[in-house]
Amino acid sequence: MRAFGIKNYKEPLREIEVAEPVVGEGDVLVKVQAAGLNQLDEKIRTGEFKQILPYKFPLVLGNDVAGTVLSVGAAVRGFKPGDEVYARPRKDRIGTFAERIAMAEEDVALKPASISMVEAGSLPLVALTAWQALVERGNVRPGQKVLIHAGAGGVGTIAIQLAKHLGATVATTASHHNAAFVRGLGADTVIDYRSQDFEQLLSGYDLVLDSLGGKTLEKSLRILKPGGKAIGISGPPDSGFAREARLNPVLRVAIAALSSRVRRQARKLGVSYEFLFMRASGDQLRKISALVDDGVLRPVVGKVASFDETPGALESLAAGGFRGKAVVTVTN
């Protein structure tokens, strides 16, 4: 089976031949038709998460998929061959840059009926990230103030729409070129990150969704009101993540140390910081599908590449220059 992966960390993504997926009793075998590209794929390729996500090689990359069910395991009850589905496979079963993938039934949902396969392939990881940050952890309620960094990016485009749906007043950072675009998604306030300092313009926020880390995260803590929360998806990871990932005690201590400075700053300000490494959830994807089909959320696909172009598409992801997500299309 054709796939794109690596045989060691830091190697360029390249085409490799891999065995057909093994379909367990509770698995769904899917013909991949679209696969979203994410910064997570590049971070896995370079070994950034090798201490906390130990993978075996050769490793097929890819964390988003939309496609058609080919077969199901004996214990599967929710899907049948021919169903059009989408998913973010769980972290130890990634590999959507391939012609076929087997995934746990619990991670899969029927794709929204109102959008294309390419649009569906762009959604799972970023939509689940937004949902888990804003609904599950942030508990965003009407009247609250939410700042979403990088509003024209993959997570940002969905998070703005979801936060607005939840009744929040939404601020975002974006380039001047993208200001009208993110306002169209629902942003009430747009900060031009190239010429304006959001810390000088915003205050009293309930929640910040930070995808940038570093100094941006530190400044984000200072625009929160007492009791507010910053949720980071770029890092640093915290002790809560270490517990959820069931890391060994030595790694737990090391992980906690990575975020100690940020957590200490947050405590002094009377706010909190949490790291979010989103998880697979077919149940949440079903709720997201309903919002898409109701017209509440719309996917934003800024770039489409062929399956053969997957390595170059991943390489160019860091350069940006497009709105929303990049997606590769797979023909079998």
Structural domains of the chain, ranges and CATH numbers in brackets:
2-122+299-329 (3.90.180.10), 125-275 (3.40.50.720)
Q: What is the pTM assigned to this prediction?
A: 0.96
Q: Give the SS3 label for residue 17.
A: strand
Helix, strand, coil tally for the chain in percent (to 5):
35, 25, 35
Q: What is the mean pLDDT of the chain?
A: 95
Task: Compute the half-sphere exposure of residue 11: CA atoms within 13 Å on the CB side of its CA.
Answer: 15
Cα-based angle 179, 145, 206 (whole degrees, multiple of 5): 130
For 58-95, the pLDDT digits (tens) are 999 999 999 999 999 999 999 999 999 999 999 999 99
Query: 141 is written with which tokens?
Result: 């309620």
Q: Answer whether 90's CB lies under 8 Å from 280's CB.
A: yes
- What is the DSSP code (8-state) at residue 218? H
pLDDT, residue 252, reads 84
* pLDDT tens figures, 255-311: 888 889 999 999 999 999 999 999 999 999 999 999 999 999 999 999 999 999 999
Place of tokens 């599950």: 136
Which sign, positive or negative, has the C-alpha torsion 218, 220, 225, 231?
A: negative
Q: Which of 39-43, 56-60, 234-238 has the lowest mean pLDDT?
A: 234-238
Query: Which residues make beta-bridge pairs with 303?
Result: 326
Flag whether pLDDT at 332 surpasses 70. no
Give pLDDT, residue 19.
Answer: 96
**What pLDDT shows up at residue 245?**
72
